[in-house]
Amino acid sequence: MEARATAKYLRISPRKARQAVDLIRGKKAQEALALLRFIPKKSARLVYKVLQSAIANAENNRGLDVDNLVVSQAFVNPGPTMKRIRPRAMGRAYLIRKRSSHITVVVSEAGEGR
């Protein structure tokens, strides 16, 4: 059995968020939390919260044992991009893309889903 958690419309680019997500995929849930806690990046802090939520969902909604949980899936999808304009010299304008992400973490018990 598995439990999932999703955070949507986070103001971080998907490319940067994938740095933290790639580190925890396939690891034990408690080990992944400890790893994310000491990574000095904004993406690690956001993924940490999503992983905590997935673990809480597994424990409270599915009745799974927290000590046996493994991060079976973790992925980042791009969200909508806000487009802004930066004024430049001689009346020109450059486009600034403010990207957002949807982060999904799925945890399952150690024996299944791998």
Residue ranges covered by each domain of the chain: 2-109
Centroid of chain to Cα 17: 6
The SS3 of residue 80 is coil
For all residues of the chain together, what is the average pLDDT? 94
3-state helix, strand, coil in the chain (%, to 5): 40, 35, 25
Ramachandran category for residue 9: left, alpha or beta (phi over 0 → left; psi -120 to 50 → alpha): left
- Residue 17's identity, in one-letter code, is A
pLDDT tier for residue 98 given thresholds of 50, 70 and 90: very high
The SS3 of residue 103 is strand
pLDDT tier for residue 25 given thresholds of 50, 70 and 90: very high
CATH architecture of the domain formed by 2-109 = Alpha-Beta Complex (3.90)
pLDDT score recorded for residue 41:
95
With a cut of 70, say whether residue 114 has pLDDT above it: no
CA separation for the pair 90, 114 (Å, rounded):
57
CA separation for the pair 62, 112 (Å, rounded):
15
